Amino acid sequence: MRINYGEEIRRRVSMPEVCRCYGIDVDIHNFTKCPFHHEKTASMKIYDDGAHCYGCGLQFNSVIDFVMKYFQIDFLTACDKLNKDFSLGLPIGHIPTLREQREAEKMMAERKAAAEARQREREEVQNEYYFALDDYTRLDKQRIDNMPCDPSAEIDDKYIEAVTKMPMAEERLINAERRLWEYEHRR
C-alpha cells in the first residue's frame, strides 16, 4: 500500500490557509481576484477545500490542484511544497522505511475507524430522535382522536393509554433532541 500524502495534505491544509500563506487577499465574503485571468473585481470564491472562479470558470477541487496551477508545478512538487511551506513533516521525497509505512498505515486505519464510529454514532442519535418523535406524535394523535367529547362521556382506554404514556414519550423526545443538538454542535 502506498501512503496517500495527498489525502493527508488536503485534510490538514485548508484553502483559506493557502491563500494567507501565498499572499492572496480574500475578502470577508471569501472572494478574491482570480490569479488566472485579469479582472478588476474579485470573482473567485474560496471554499475550505477548493476554489471556483465565476469569471473564467476555473474550478479547484483541492488545495493541491490550486497550488499546481498557481505555481505551474506537478502533483508531487505541489505536495512537496505544501509539506514544506506548512511544516507538515510528511516524509515526501524519500522512500518510506517499513516502519514509517506501518505507522502511516496504522494512522490511516485508526482514522478510518474513528470516522466509522462517528458515522455510527450519528445514525444512532438521529434514529433515536426520529423514533422518539414518531412515538410522541403517534400518542398525541391517539389522545386527540379518543378525547372524550363531553365530561359525562365514558373515557376511552386508548385516551387513558395515550395520556399515561405521553409524559415519558415527551421526556424521551426532549432527551433525544438534546443529544442531537449536542452531537451537531460538537467540535
Q: For binding to Zn ion (CB under 5 A), which residues are involved?
A: 34, 36-37, 53, 55-56
CB of 37 to Zn ion, least distance (A): 4
5 vs 31 by CB, closer to Zn ion: 31
Residue nearest to Zn ion (CB): 34
Q: How is the beta sheet containing 59-60 ordered, strand by strand?
A: 31-32, 44-47, 50-53, 59-60
CB of 54 to Zn ion, least distance (A): 8
Three-class secondary structure of residue 100 per DSSP: helix
What is the chain's Cα-based Rg? 28
CB of 51 to Zn ion, least distance (A): 9
5 vs 66 by CB, closer to Zn ion: 66
CB of 21 to Zn ion, least distance (A): 20
First CA to last CA distance, the chain: 31
CB of 17 to Zn ion, least distance (A): 21
69 vs 172 by CB, closer to Zn ion: 69
64: Cβ contacts below 8 Å, ≥ 6 apart = 6, 9, 10, 75, 78, 79, 82
| Rounded CA separation 83/76 (Å) | 10
Cell numbers for 39 = 479582472
51 vs 82 by CB, closer to Zn ion: 51
Instruction: Estimate the share of the chain in helix, then strand, then coil, as percent rounded to the nearest 5.
Output: 60, 5, 35
40 vs 94 by CB, closer to Zn ion: 40
